[in-house]
Amino acid sequence: MRISGERIKRTRLIQTDKLVVAVEVEMVVPSEDRSEPCYESETVSFLKEVKERAERQEMDWLLKNGKVYAAVGAS
Protein backbone atom coordinates (compact mmCIF):
# COMPACT_ATOMS: atom_id res chain seq x y z
CA MET A 1 0.00 0.00 0.00
CA ARG A 2 1.40 3.37 -1.03
CA ILE A 3 1.44 6.22 1.46
CA SER A 4 -0.16 9.39 0.12
CA GLY A 5 1.91 12.53 0.31
CA GLU A 6 4.81 14.41 -1.19
CA ARG A 7 7.65 12.22 -2.47
CA ILE A 8 11.25 13.34 -2.11
CA LYS A 9 14.55 11.75 -3.13
CA ARG A 10 17.34 11.41 -0.59
CA THR A 11 20.76 9.77 -0.59
CA ARG A 12 21.35 7.25 2.18
CA LEU A 13 24.71 5.79 3.19
CA ILE A 14 24.96 2.11 4.10
CA GLN A 15 28.17 1.28 5.98
CA THR A 16 30.00 -2.00 6.53
CA ASP A 17 33.53 -2.63 7.81
CA LYS A 18 35.00 -2.39 4.31
CA LEU A 19 32.47 -0.45 2.21
CA VAL A 20 30.15 2.51 2.22
CA VAL A 21 27.37 2.43 -0.36
CA ALA A 22 25.45 5.59 -1.31
CA VAL A 23 21.97 4.87 -2.69
CA GLU A 24 19.17 7.20 -3.68
CA VAL A 25 15.82 6.35 -2.11
CA GLU A 26 12.37 7.85 -2.08
CA MET A 27 10.88 9.17 1.13
CA VAL A 28 7.29 10.25 1.68
CA VAL A 29 6.05 13.24 3.65
CA PRO A 30 2.61 11.87 4.65
CA SER A 31 -0.39 14.08 4.02
CA GLU A 32 -1.78 13.21 7.48
CA ASP A 33 1.42 14.04 9.41
CA ARG A 34 3.86 16.37 7.68
CA SER A 35 6.22 16.50 10.68
CA GLU A 36 8.72 13.97 9.31
CA PRO A 37 9.40 12.08 6.06
CA CYS A 38 9.18 8.31 6.25
CA TYR A 39 10.08 5.22 4.23
CA GLU A 40 7.61 2.84 2.63
CA SER A 41 8.11 -0.88 3.29
CA GLU A 42 9.67 -1.45 -0.16
CA THR A 43 12.34 1.13 0.61
CA VAL A 44 13.14 -0.46 3.97
CA SER A 45 13.50 -3.85 2.24
CA PHE A 46 15.78 -2.30 -0.40
CA LEU A 47 18.03 -0.72 2.27
CA LYS A 48 18.29 -4.09 4.06
CA GLU A 49 19.21 -5.76 0.78
CA VAL A 50 21.91 -3.16 0.12
CA LYS A 51 23.38 -3.80 3.58
CA GLU A 52 23.39 -7.58 3.10
CA ARG A 53 24.97 -7.34 -0.36
CA ALA A 54 27.55 -4.85 0.89
CA GLU A 55 28.51 -7.27 3.68
CA ARG A 56 29.00 -9.97 1.00
CA GLN A 57 30.82 -7.43 -1.22
CA GLU A 58 28.62 -8.11 -4.26
CA MET A 59 30.25 -5.33 -6.25
CA ASP A 60 28.41 -5.81 -9.56
CA TRP A 61 25.00 -5.43 -7.92
CA LEU A 62 26.14 -2.60 -5.65
CA LEU A 63 27.61 -0.60 -8.55
CA LYS A 64 24.35 -0.96 -10.51
CA ASN A 65 22.32 0.39 -7.59
CA GLY A 66 24.53 3.06 -6.05
CA LYS A 67 28.00 4.45 -5.54
CA VAL A 68 30.51 2.32 -3.67
CA TYR A 69 33.33 3.67 -1.52
CA ALA A 70 36.02 1.42 -0.05
CA ALA A 71 37.62 1.86 3.35
CA VAL A 72 41.36 2.41 3.26
CA GLY A 73 43.59 1.27 6.13
CA ALA A 74 44.81 4.09 8.35
CA SER A 75 48.34 4.30 9.80
Q: Where are the domains of the chain?
A: 5-70
Q: Which of 25, 23, 16 is nearest to 54 (CA)?
A: 16
What pLDDT score was predicted for residue 36? 87
* Residue 75: per-residue pLDDT: 46
Q: Extract the runs of DSSP E, i.e. beta strands, from 2-73.
A: 5-15, 19-30, 67-70
Give 10-residue mean pLDDT values along the chain (75 residues): 86 95 95 87 96 97 97 66
